[in-house]
């Protein structure tokens, strides 16, 4: 074998390794975004919703969970992937709501959201 054939073989091998790595990364990301680790609802007062990010813009929000009187409230930080849901949530800032969410663990990039909690729906909770 001469040096040109060796270099051609090395380039082809490197190309296949990079292509396989990109395919594995894409497959892992797809699985993380489509497999739900947990799901549920959280109720509280919507504190804020913002559209943020340098390159990948995402909707990020805060919900103050209703605590027992005398205890400091806990924040529930969440991401909204759907613009229609974000618009609905944005009209309810300051109100008591219940957020329906899914938890997706292991997502390798913040381009899909800064949190692992993805809100799918919101409904207003009336005080008794």
Give tens-digit pLDDT for 93-103. Answer: 989 999 999 99
**Residue 4 scores a pLDDT above 60:** yes
Judgement on whether residues 13 and 40 belong to the same structural domain of the protein: no
pLDDT score at 111:
83
Judgement on whether residues 69 and 102 belong to the same structural domain of the protein: yes
Q: Which domain holds residue 69?
A: 36-124
Give tens-digit pLDDT for 35-64. Answer: 889 999 999 999 999 999 888 899 999 999
Task: Provide the whole-model pTM.
Answer: 0.79
Structural domain tally of the chain?
Answer: 2
Task: Judge contact between 74 and 67, C-beta under 8 A.
Answer: yes
Distance CA 72, CA 40 (A): 22
Judgement on whether residues 48 and 29 belong to the same structural domain of the protein: no
CATH number at residue 85: 2.40.50.140
Judgement on whether residues 71 and 109 belong to the same structural domain of the protein: yes
Judgement on whether residues 116 and 68 belong to the same structural domain of the protein: yes
Task: Judge contact between 49 and 57, C-beta under 8 A.
Answer: no
pLDDT score at 128:
55
Task: Judge contact between 32 and 102, C-beta under 8 A.
Answer: no
């Amino acid at each position: 074998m001469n040096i040109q054939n060796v270099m051609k073989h090395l380039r082809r091998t490197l190309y296949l390794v990079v292509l396989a790595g990109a395919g594995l990364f894409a497959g892992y990301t797809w699985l993380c975004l489509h497999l739900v680790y947990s799901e549920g609802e959280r109720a509280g007062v919507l504190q804020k919703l913002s559209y943020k990010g340098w390159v990948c813009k995402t909707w990020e929000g805060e919900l103050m969970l209703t605590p027992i009187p005398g205890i400091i409230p806990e924040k529930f930080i969440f991401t909204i992937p759907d613009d229609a849901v974000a618009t609905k949530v944005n009209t309810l800032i300051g109100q008591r709501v219940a957020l329906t969410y899914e938890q997706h663990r292991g997502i390798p990039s913040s381009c899909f959201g800064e949190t692992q909690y993805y809100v799918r729906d919101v409904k207003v909770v009336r005080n008794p």
